[in-house]
Structure formats: structure tokens, C-alpha cells
Amino acid sequence: MEYRSKLNELRKKIDEIDEQILRLLNDRARLARDVGHIKKKHNLPIYVPSREQKIFDRLEQLNREFGEYFPTDSIKPVFREIISACRSTEENLKVAYLGPRATFTHQAAIEHFGQAVEYIPVQTIKDVFEEILKERADFGVVPVENTIEGIVNYTHDLLVDYTLKITGEVILEISLHLMGINPDIKQIVRVYSHRHALAECREWLMKNLPHAQLIEVESTAKAAEMAKDDYESAAVAGEAAADIYGLHIIEKKIDRHTQNFTRFLIIGKDIPPASGNDKTTFVFSVKNEVGALYKTLEPLYKHGINMTKIESRPSKKEAWDYIFFTDIEGHIEEDRIRNALKELEKKSPFFKILGSYPKAH
Ligand SMILES: C=C(O[C@@H]1C=C(C(=O)O)C=C[C@H]1O)C(=O)O
């Protein structure tokens, strides 16, 4: 019986600590609200991703010094929600994303902004851009490339056509889970999912649910919705779908062999200030002459700037005419970046900065 009193004693201490955490959360929210008042008075943006990124980096570092009894991987998810909730006392951010609810884009949006914002699911990538332009949303979230499917052309085209800016990025590992209201896999007779998701999990499904009927639906989110009221059904979908539709994850990551990552962009009206660990994305075209690409990119080399990516797309203005989507390390606020891009712009018939934003980890 002695262990019981020990257990009670430990639980009492945990309750006391929770109370202290709660008091501190209230203190924190009050300070964030005061920051919000100053920002509003001076017409400054409420949402400052660079500041949020610095908070995560500092706390992860501190946590390592504290001995990591609390897992460092959990610092960002916990503080993301604390910051999201504190921010919501300053302003109600509206975020449009490629829906419906529970898609991977929704998951990426939650990973970036936390739960305490108003989410607006829309039907197309273009609608995400339109919601911001029409001031129905402050920010938007769209997929831009996947390690298996390649780039999302439509997002690239819209970035050229619209005046909006990339203000952030999220890289998500696309993990597909088997989920349902019934945790007992032996009773599952139907599995719903998107065609691609079923294909990626085929091996696991054949081995573990050889008699189940596999049913294709238009999205993994829809699959979760189909499974939510049926004891004999399961869905293959992402984690957000399990949360939103209240499903148990029966088996985690059944797409076992795949290296499946998607990069999402956060878009908004203005370029956020530098965080110290940023990326700049721009697009340019080249003259039709020998060595044009090499010559146009020379200023990057001259100013010691690291180019992390270059991707060509048809310009759609003339046949066989291309534009180049380019990522470099650094922020447009930095002199060397600004100077290099000014020189590059002079050499290009078409040039546009698409954004400077904190790098995803
Ligand atoms: C409190 C602020 O406003 C927002 C909320 C933050 C927070 O809760 O820590 C951080 C950055 C901002 O997005 C701030 O700018 O410091």
C-alpha cells in the first residue's frame, strides 16, 4: 500500500506544477495582449513569424541544457499552441487553405499557425489566393511540391500572376495511418482512401487486411468522414483526419517504405522581417543567347550567396521560353541579397521576388 501514498504525493506535486504553468500562461497571455496594443497603435503586423521562430529555437536549445526530461521534439508543438492562443488575444487571424478539413494542407496550416486561428477551407488553390486578395483571409496555405509527385504547377503559376508573397514554408512528412472508430482490426471489412494513398499502402493492406474491400474516394479527408460512423470501416488518411473525425489510429504509418514529404507555402500580403535563418524565392527569365542562364546567375556567385534550388517552367508567353523559380539562402533585408538581386534583375527580361521567409526545419 505504500506505493499508493507515494503515487498520491507525486500526483499532488504534478497538480501544483500544472497550477503554476496555468498561472504563467495567463501572465504570458496578458503580456502578449499588451504587445498587441502597442502594435495596433503603431500599425505594426500582429503576427510576426520571425519572432515565433526565434522563440522555438531558443527554447529547444534551452531544453537541451535542461537535460531533456521533457522531449525536445515536443517543444515546438506545445509552444506553437501557447503562442497561437496568446496571439488570438491580440487578433483573430484568418487562414484559408486548400480544403476540405483534415487534408494534409490543413495539417500543415495547423502545424504553422496552431489551433487558435480561424480556418477557412476552400476548394481550389486559386481560391486560397483570392481569399487573401479579397481580404477575407490574412494568410493562405497551399501545397507546392512533393517528393513523389513533383512540383504543383498551379501554385507556381499563381505565384507569378498574383502580387501576394510567400511568408513561410512547412515541410510535412506524409504519413498514412489506418484509422477507424473501432480499434479492432479483425472487424474491419472496408477500407476507404484516395487512390494514391491506397497504392502507397497496398503492401501492408494485402498482408494485414487481405479480405477487406478497398474503396477509392476523392480525398483522404473524405475517407475519414466515410469511416466515422461505421464500425466495420477504416480509412487510410493523415493524422489531422483522425483528430478531426474522432477516429482511433489503428496502425501508424502503413505506407512504410515511402520517403513521402510535401512542402507547403504560407502566402500573405507582405514580406515578414528577417528571422536570421531565412530563404528568398524569386523568379526570372533569361535572354535568348549563349550562356544566358550562367551570366544571369553570376551575381549570386559574386556576392557569395548559396542557391538551394532552381526549377524551370514554361513562361506560357512564347513557345520554348522558360522562367526559373529560384531559392537562395538569406533575406531581402540583407544588403548582399538586395544588391545581388538588383544586379540579377538588370540582366533579366522578367524578374519578380516571391518572398523572404523563415526556413522550415
Ligand atoms: C506577442 C507577440 O505577438 C505574436 C505572438 C507571439 C507570442 O505569443 O510569443 C509572438 C509573435 C507574434 O506573432 C510579439 O510580437 O511578441
In short, whether 117's Cβ falls inside 6 Å of ligand 1 is no
- Pocket probe for ligand 1: among 76, 83, 138, 167, the residue whose CB has the most ligand atoms within 8 Å is 83
Q: Quote the number of domains for the chain.
A: 4
Given pLDDT bands bounded at 50, 70 and 90, which one contains residue 328?
A: very high
For a pLDDT cut of 70, what percent of the chain falls above it? 99
What are the distances in angstroms from CA 63 to CA 27, 53, 56, 361?
Answer: 21, 15, 10, 17
Q: From atom 10 of ligand 1, which residue's Cα is the shortest distance away? A: 52
pLDDT (mean) for 66-84: 97
pLDDT for residue 316: 79
Q: How many CB atoms are located within 10 Å of the residue 282 CB? A: 21
Q: Is residue 60 part of a domain?
A: yes
Q: Measured in angstroms, how far is the CA atom of residue 46 from the centroid of ligand 1?
A: 7
Domain boundary among 188, 220, 251: 251
Domain boundary among 51, 69, 87: 87
pLDDT (mean) for 6-14: 97
Residue 325 domain boundaries: 272-358
Q: What's 213's domain CATH number?
A: 3.40.190.10
Q: Write b or e for each residue in 124-157: b if 16 or more Cβ atoms lie within 10 A of its Cβ, otherwise e.
A: ebbbbbbbbeeeebbbbbbbbbbeeeeebeebbb
Q: Is residue 145 part of a domain?
A: yes
Per-residue pLDDT tens digits for 164-222: 999 999 999 999 999 999 999 999 999 999 988 898 899 999 999 999 999 999 889 99
Q: Is residue 256 part of a domain?
A: no
**pTM, two decimal places:** 0.89
In short, whether 55's Cβ falls inside 6 Å of ligand 1 is yes
Q: From atom 2 of ligand 1, which residue's Cα is the shortest distance away? A: 32
Considering only CA atoms, give the Rg of the chain: 24
Residues 354, 277 share a domain: yes
Q: Is residue 43 part of a domain?
A: yes
Domain boundary among 238, 267, 296: 267
Instruction: Report yes or no: 287 and 233 within 8 Å, Cβ to Cβ.
Output: no
For a pLDDT cut of 90, what percent of the chain falls above it? 84
Distance between CA atoms of 238 and 353, rounded to whole angstroms?
Answer: 33
The single-letter code of the amino acid at 84 is S
pLDDT (mean) for 286-314: 93
C-alpha cell at 276: 536570421
Given pLDDT bands bounded at 50, 70 and 90, which one contains residue 148?
A: confident
- pLDDT of residue 27 exceeding 90, the answer is yes
| Rama region for 263: left / alpha / beta (φ>0; ψ in -120 to 50; rest) | beta
- pLDDT of residue 352 exceeding 80, the answer is yes
- pLDDT of residue 115 exceeding 70, the answer is yes
Residues 69, 31 share a domain: yes
pLDDT for residue 327: 97
Cross-strand pairs, 169: 265
Length of the chain: 361
In short, whether 87's Cβ falls inside 6 Å of ligand 1 is yes
pLDDT for residue 257: 67
pLDDT for residue 250: 96
- Nearest atom within ligand 1 for CA of residue 32: 1
Q: Measured in angstroms, how far is the CA atom of residue 114 from the centroid of ligand 1?
A: 13
Residues 69, 28 share a domain: yes
Given pLDDT bands bounded at 50, 70 and 90, which one contains residue 150?
A: confident
Q: From atom 8 of ligand 1, which residue's Cα is the shortest distance away? A: 83
Residues 67, 126 share a domain: no
ipTM of the complex in this document: 0.95
Q: pLDDT averaged over the chain?
A: 94
Say what the alpha-carbon torsion angle 113, 332, 300, 164 is, to the nearest 10 degrees: 60
pLDDT (mean) for 258-285: 93
Residues 184, 168 share a domain: no
Q: What's 39's domain CATH number?
A: 1.20.59.10
Dihedral sign, CA of 320, 326, 332, 338? negative
Residues 43, 10 share a domain: yes
Dihedral sign, CA of 169, 173, 174, 180? negative
Residues 156, 230 share a domain: no
Q: What's 279's domain CATH number?
A: 3.30.70.260
Q: From atom 5 of ligand 1, which residue's Cα is the shortest distance away? A: 87
- pLDDT of residue 1 exceeding 80, the answer is no
- pLDDT of residue 147 exceeding 90, the answer is no
Q: Measured in angstroms, how far is the CA atom of residue 39 from the centroid of ligand 1?
A: 10
Given pLDDT bands bounded at 50, 70 and 90, which one contains residue 317?
A: confident
Q: Is residue 257 part of a domain?
A: no
Distance between CA atoms of 331 and 353, rounded to whole angstroms?
Answer: 11
pLDDT for residue 254: 95
- pLDDT of residue 154 exceeding 80, the answer is yes
